[in-house]
Chain A
């Protein structure tokens, strides 16, 4: 049995000591936490895809969608005003990993990669050598980003790990060249529901996949009457309890201290809750209708209400499984010496004629995401209401680890976890999927938020080419009164946002 003490072991030990020392300085941390801090803390990030803070009872949603998250929050720091930097997986997870906004990391498109200049500055690189690092993403686009950080990961589980049926090519056949294996095989030669790059064999693959799907659907009809959940843009089917079992098993076998990133697909569409959750919100309640936005495709209110209800059921389903995970961590004693971070990559919208998240319209349900952080041994709930962004996660972890926050980070440590509240702070949200990655922004939605003030710039859209909207979220939380340009704050924010746009465009002019 090897017993040598490597440089990597030394770094892990040093960083563990740094973690332990940093804990005692955190505001809002109980004495129980400080007592538990003598152990080496693990870090567990649990991310559920497309989970809007607006649809969680934890944040006051009318339907009881998240009793387990509420239970977890009783021992955690709850962030009430946390925002994603993007409105879909690629830009938002890239921001989470690199603490940079989309206009810096340039991963604008669905299958974009983080720019070569920014990619080395990532969470896994920064914590490399401090922890055993493991990652598992059910979303292929997030998984692609993980492949960019592959050399910093001790363990990287395939996207179809713990799946029921269906396989991806890149994760199974081309692990050493997965990014290009995916772009050529899974996204081109064998892509789903669109003419493929492979003329003959893709049809055979489609038939085999469909046979697998039908067989699984029949087998799981009792549990999933509307079909088994599927990883978006793939033919991989899964059962969340089984995936959660797999993740819990993984956590049990990882050497401590560890840093893990788990990215679960639910409640991303298709919304397919298990049988016991179907109908639980047939309560006749519907939110008040909000006027359709000019850029909305015009989904009917009836359809939106129906989709929202199914989505809420799916949220309750995932909450049930998150409860299982938390109980497991508790039973294994991991809550005593782990940071557990519950969050999402973006939200979901069911209003103004828009459903889902592939939209240029940036209202709060789409970009406000949950963030609940349990610190080791924490016993009491702490609420933080100041404005935060998912670019703040990396600086927070670094601060806790006692590592200096680098100058390239565009986020800052979260209040309550080593950071300070700052009402004058700006955060941004960028939707720019219609743009080439390395040129000036021509068609985009840009959001600047400061305190309760929110300015949205719609740039380059047909019939809505250079429009601004300003909302005061304190007086108008449902964003129905566009006060632009009359509000004094609107002009001030506009000048700042325009200047910021010029600044980020400058290298590409």
Chain B
């Protein structure tokens, strides 16, 4: 049990990871949304488009939290000296890999609709194994080349600015969504 608790990161360690996830989640949502807004404005008023934006931003915040939960749970699989000791760097790298991977998958998302049942089960499992190997490799690289650890930590630190920018937007969006659904339109 002691070993398990020793794997839990501090809030300071989590923040940069959250920032990276927020950066990917919100940037993608906003990029897609701005791509869509001209078509929405063809048949919806600005206020109605803002209502949609509230859903999108609120959901982006929720999604970032869910993904943070995933990274957190994933990190618990590793001994503290592998993951927790370099949590910010490893977690941020993992978050970045998930973000980049998700963008690449989104570009070919229609392929998902060709998968057989066994592939739907096996591919995510294979993905998890690959992520675990990635973490082990990165942990070794950080240990072997401390400069890389410093660079990644510095980058992750700077990403926290996105958390301060996007979290209020997401919270506002969530508030609007909850209000609309409690009060009706």
Contacts and interface: CB of A to CB of B under 8 A. Distances in A.
B117 to A, nearest CB: 4
A161 interface: no
B121 A203 contact: no
B55 A180 contact: yes
Interface string A91-109: 0000000000000001111
A235 to B, nearest CB: 9
B110 interface: yes
A111 B42 CA distance: 11
Interface string B99-123: 1001101110110110111001101
Interface string A107-144: 11101110000000000000000000000000000000
Nearest to B28: A199
B43 A176 contact: no
B109 A194 contact: yes
B121 A201 contact: no
Given A174-B181, A438-B43, A215 B106 contact: no
B152 interface: no
The interface centre, meaning the residue of A113, A192, A200, A210 with most chain B CB atoms within 10 A of its CB, is A200
The interface centre, meaning the residue of B67, B107, B181 with most chain A CB atoms within 10 A of its CB, is B181
The interface centre, meaning the residue of A106, A192, A193, A195 with most chain B CB atoms within 10 A of its CB, is A195
B55 A176 contact: no
A197 B56 contact: yes
Given A199-B25, A199-B106, A436-B42, A188 B52 contact: yes
B124 interface: yes
A207 interface: yes
Contact of B180 (A109, A180, A193): A180
A179 B117 CA distance: 33
Contacts of B166: none
Interface residues of B, number: 48
Interface in B74-111: 98-99, 102-103, 105-107, 109-110
B56 A210 contact: no
B51 A180 contact: yes
A193 B102 contact: no
A176 B120 contact: no
A218 interface: yes
Contact of A181 (B29, B55, B67, B110): B55
B116 to A, nearest CB: 6
Contact of B66 (A113, A197, A201): A201
B109 A199 contact: no
A188 B103 contact: no
The secondary structure that dominates the B interface is helix
Interface in A429-483: 435-438
Given A174-B181, A203-B106, A188 B32 contact: yes
Contacts of B28: 197, 199
Contacts of A202: 106, 109
A199 B43 contact: no
Given A181-B55, A185-B59, A196-B106, A206 B43 contact: no
B52 A183 contact: yes
A197 B109 contact: no
Interface in A127-170: none
Nearest to A193: B110
Contacts of B182: 176
Interface string B164-179: 0000000000000100
Contacts of A185: 55, 59
A408 to B, nearest CB: 21
Interface in A201-223: 201-203, 206-207, 210-211, 213-215, 218
Contact of A215 (B33, B117, B177): B117
A176 B113 contact: no
B48 interface: yes
Interface string B19-41: 00000110011001100100111
Interface of A: 106-109, 111-113, 174, 176-177, 179-181, 183-185, 188-189, 192-203, 206-207, 210-211, 213-215, 218, 435-438
Given A184-B51, A199-B103, 17 more contacts: A107-B43, A174-B181, A177-B181, A180-B51, A194-B110, A197-B28, A197-B32, A197-B33, A197-B36, A199-B25, A202-B106, A210-B115, A211-B120, A214-B115, A214-B116, A214-B120, A218-B117
21 contacts: A109-B43, A174-B181, A176-B184, A177-B51, A184-B52, A184-B55, A184-B56, A184-B59, A189-B56, A192-B113, A193-B110, A194-B109, A197-B32, A197-B36, A198-B60, A200-B25, A201-B63, A207-B115, A211-B117, A211-B120, A435-B42
